[in-house]
């Protein structure tokens, strides 16, 4: 079987495909990626087969204070739609050259879905966040209608007749999480395979001062790679809050924007960290509720303090709280005291750690990358009908 992954230039969306690609390769299948070549290769390694796709030359920075429906509209208009239409010709060219049997398409790389529909190929959705499975736009019908109209416009411009939601394959959606974390599922999703996180060793040569770690409880503080501007105030408060726990806590604070100019002695401030390598050495994680960071932390049985900023993060944060694995803070209003107390609570109260370990067990039971590979093999063996998306005359 030949599988082509279609991915956006986003770390958290490419990373799960690396583990799945490795599992497929170990079973004798062939894999390749279509995406921003330079970006994808830094994650997959230079030996991977990558088909370079054009992406918009400039992506407008999203205002740091944009939230809710406004942030969603900005995401679609300024990123998702331009990315899709920029990538589509190159994705189709990659398909023509590589001739895959199956596409695995990230939810935010909808050029892959359009190409599959245009060319009559079976495709599987790679869902790197579980937020939409719980219908987060419930109660906002005008927003739902706007999203559907936006996708209809994308299909029309690509001359695709099928009225298919480009975010979800009609064949199969791989959800890199478990029901234990997601909770109740919206009834519209009946072909979702919960396979657990796809986490594998990946190239990461980020330096880290391992010799500075001591015997205190260690807490990672990270707001991801896309929130440098929005996170300056919060990171400063977090550093101050951890300073008030200096007798018992050592913090590693990720500050890609260099906004924290001074920090207490017990706070190690770095622009980047080798997160996967660091997690086994931690006691808790404070983050923005990005899906990958949440799943990687829970996969190690680490309790969380979550301060969601926008997009899917409020939904993921609530999943963490509902599962009992952490505490939620208000990103825009949390003070050093709020952050200090929340971190102390998840470190001291065993219930949060026990819940995190329970979710970690569910991740293991779900099977991860090998389970996802098995689902792709099953789909390929079914000879999925491929005529659902013929190009419009």
- Say yes or no: 147 and 218 in one domain: no
Q: Is 202 inside any structural domain? A: no
Q: Evaluate whether 121 touches 92 at the Cβ level (below 8 Å).
A: no
pLDDT tens digits for 26-52? 999 999 999 999 999 988 988 999 999
Strands of the 102-106 sheet, one edge to the other: 50-52, 30-35, 2-6, 102-106, 123-127, 173-175, 192-194
- The 10s digit of each residue's pLDDT in 9-31 is 988 899 899 999 999 999 999 99
Q: Quote the pLDDT of residue 388.
A: 40
Higher pLDDT, 131 or 393: 131
Asked whether the predicted pLDDT for residue 7 surpasses 50, the reply is yes
- Specify whether 184 is located in the same domain as 38: yes
In the chain, the percentage of residues whose pLDDT exceeds 70 is: 89
Quote the pLDDT of residue 129. Answer: 79
Residue-level pLDDT at 312: 83
pLDDT at 184 exceeding the cut of 80: no
- Show the tokens assigned to 348: 């001291």
Residue 311 in domain? yes
Domain assignment present for residue 392? The answer is no
**Rounded CA separation 289/305 (Å):** 9
Residue 62 shares a structural domain with residue 139 = yes
| pLDDT at position 202 over 70 | no
User: Residue 72 corresponds to which tokens in the numbers above?
Assistant: 């969603």
Instruction: Return the pLDDT at 393.
Output: 38
What CATH number does the domain containing 84 carry? 3.40.50.2000
Residue among 357, 55, 8 at smallest CA distance from 180: 357
What pLDDT shows up at residue 186? Answer: 61
Q: Give the pLDDT confidence score for residue 357 in this predicted structure.
A: 97
357 and 375, same domain (yes or no): no
Quick one: 173 and 239 in the same domain? no
Contact criterion met (CB below 8 Å) for 305 and 329: yes
Among 56-65, 83-92, 161-170, the range scoring the smallest mean pLDDT is: 56-65
For residue 35, the tally of other CB atoms under 10 A from its CB is: 32
Helix (H) or strand (E) holding 34: strand 30-35
Give the pLDDT of residue 144. Answer: 84
pLDDT bin (cut points 50, 70, 90) of residue 391 is very low
Q: Could you tell me the residue range of the domain that residue 67 belongs to?
A: 2-196+367-381
Sheet with 304-306: list strands edge to edge. Answer: 267-270, 249-254, 217-222, 284-287, 304-306, 326-328
Average pLDDT, the chain: 89
Over 70: is that where the pLDDT of 384 sits? no
Residue 120: pLDDT above 60? yes
Specify the DSSP element, H or E, that contains 364.
helix 350-366
Residues 217 and 192 in one domain: no
Evaluate whether residue 205 is within a structural domain.
no
Are residue 344 and residue 372 in the same domain, yes or no?
no
Kindly state whether residues 8 and 49 are assigned to the same domain: yes
Q: Band the pLDDT of 240: cuts 50, 70, 90.
A: very high
Q: Are residues 122 and 28 in the same domain?
A: yes
Q: How far is CA 281 from CA 200, 212, 297, 339, 378, in A?
A: 17, 12, 11, 21, 38
Q: What is the pLDDT of residue 198?
A: 82
- Residue 276 is assigned to a structural domain of this protein: yes
- 188 within some domain: yes
In sequence order, the 6+-apart residues with CB closer than 8 A to the CB of 244 are 336, 337, 340
Residue 389: inside a domain: no
Please report the pLDDT score of residue 389 as a whole number: 43
Number of domains within the chain: 2
DSSP state of 77: I
Give the predicted TM-score (pTM) of the model.
0.85
46 and 187 together in one domain: yes
Q: What is the pLDDT of residues 264-315, one digit of tens each?
A: 999 999 999 999 999 999 999 999 999 889 999 999 999 999 999 987 899 8
Would you state the structure tokens that stand for residue 135, as one six-digit string? 């219908």
Residue 390 located in a structural domain: no
CA distance 167 to 27: 28
Residues 356 and 376 in one domain: no
Residues 167 and 224 in one domain: no
């Amino acid at each position: 079987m030949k599988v082509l992954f279609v991915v956006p230039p986003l770390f958290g969306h490419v990373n799960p495909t690396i583990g799945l690609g490795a599992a497929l390769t170990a079973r004798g299948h062939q894999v390749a990626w279509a995406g921003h070549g330079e970006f994808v290769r830094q994650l997959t390694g230079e030996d991977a087969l990558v088909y370079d796709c054009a992406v918009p030359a400039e992506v407008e920075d999203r205002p740091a204070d944009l939230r809710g429906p406004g942030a969603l509209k900005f995401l679609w208009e300024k990123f998702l739609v331009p990315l899709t239409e920029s990538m589509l010709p190159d994705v189709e060219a990659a398909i023509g050259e590589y001739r895959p049997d199956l596409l695995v398409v990230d939810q935010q790389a909808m050029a892959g879905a359009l190409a599959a529909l245009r060319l009559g190929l079976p495709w599987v959705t790679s869902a790197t966040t579980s937020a939409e499975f719980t219908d987060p736009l419930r109660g906002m019908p005008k927003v739902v209608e706007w999203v559907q109209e936006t996708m209809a416009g994308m299909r029309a411009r690509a001359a695709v007749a099928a009225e298919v939601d480009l975010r979800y394959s009609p064949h199969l959606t791989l959800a890199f999480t478990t029901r234990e974390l997601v909770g109740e599922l919206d009834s519209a999703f009946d072909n979702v395979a919960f396979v657990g996180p796809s986490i594998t060793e990946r190239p990461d040569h980020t330096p880290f001062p391992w010799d500075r770690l001591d015997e205190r409880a260690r807490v990672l503080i990270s707001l991801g790679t896309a929130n440098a501007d929005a996170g300056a105030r919060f990171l400063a408060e977090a550093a101050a809050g951890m300073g008030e726990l200096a007798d018992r806590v050592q913090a590693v604070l990720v500050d890609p924007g260099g906004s924290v100019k001074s920090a207490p002695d017990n706070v190690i401030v770095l622009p980047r960290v080798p997160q996967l390598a660091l997690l086994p050495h931690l006691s808790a994680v404070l983050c923005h509720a990005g899906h990958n960071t949440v799943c990687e932390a829970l996969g190690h049985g680490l309790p969380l303090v979550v301060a969601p900023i926008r997009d899917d993060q409020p939904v993921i944060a609530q999943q963490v709280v509902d599962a009992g694995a952490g505490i939620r803070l208000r990103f825009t209003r949390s003070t050093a005291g709020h952050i200090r107390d929340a971190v102390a609570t998840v470190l001291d109260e065993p219930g949060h750690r026990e819940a995190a370990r329970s979710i970690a067990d569910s991740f293991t039971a779900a099977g991860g990358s090998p389970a996802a590979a098995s689902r792709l093999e099953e789909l390929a063996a079914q000879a999925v009908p491929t005529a659902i998306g013929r190009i419009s005359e």
